């Protein structure tokens, strides 16, 4: 499980990377070229589209960071919780993702779920 644990940690690091060039390097290292990401607010395929989604989340929640919760994995699938909030503060968004990995060691599919979201103003 240590390989999957590391890959999930790298996945969260990509979501926290605000430098566009470094973020794209991370995306290329973590996600397969045709990776698909689906959550209640997005359904995208490919690294470029995923990069755009991550940039949009960062623009919507500037200065907030993702923290990783427990990772549970078997075969080539992992589920893990995450929180988004100010460093050391209370989380504004809480969710969990299920990720499927290919034989290449990259993420091929992510299904995201939101458990807590901010109330609309």
End-to-end CA distance of the chain: 42
pLDDT at position 1 over 50 = no
Across the beta sheet with 77-85, the strand order is 42-45, 31-39, 107-116, 93-101, 77-85, 65-74
Q: What are the structure tokens assigned to 63, written together? A: 């200065």
Quick check: 116 pLDDT over 60?
yes
Q: Does position 93 have pLDDT exceeding 50, yes or no?
A: yes
Provide the token pair at 74: 């078997």
Q: What number is the average pLDDT over the span 92-96?
A: 97
Which own/partner contact pairs does 96-101 have at CB distance under 8 Å and 24+ positions apart? 96/69, 97/39, 99/8, 99/11, 100/76, 101/4, 101/7, 101/76, 101/77
What is 25-51 written as a DSSP string?
HHHHHHEEEEEEEEETTEEEESHHHHH
Tell me, what's the pLDDT at 2? Answer: 63
């Amino acid at each position: 499980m240590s390989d999957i644990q590391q890959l999930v940690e790298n996945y969260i690091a990509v979501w926290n990377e605000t430098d566009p060039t470094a973020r794209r390097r991370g995306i290329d290292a973590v996600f397969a070229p045709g990776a698909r990401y689906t959550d209640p607010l997005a359904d995208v395929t490919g690294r470029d589209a995923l990069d755009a989604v991550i940039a949009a989340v960062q623009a919507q929640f500037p200065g907030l960071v993702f923290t990783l919760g427990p990772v549970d994995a078997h075969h080539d699938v992992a589920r893990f919780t995450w929180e988004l909030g100010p460093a050391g503060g209370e989380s504004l968004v809480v969710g969990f993702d299920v990720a499927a990995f290919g034989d290449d060691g990259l993420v091929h599919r992510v299904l995201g779920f939101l458990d807590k979201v901010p109330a609309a103003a």
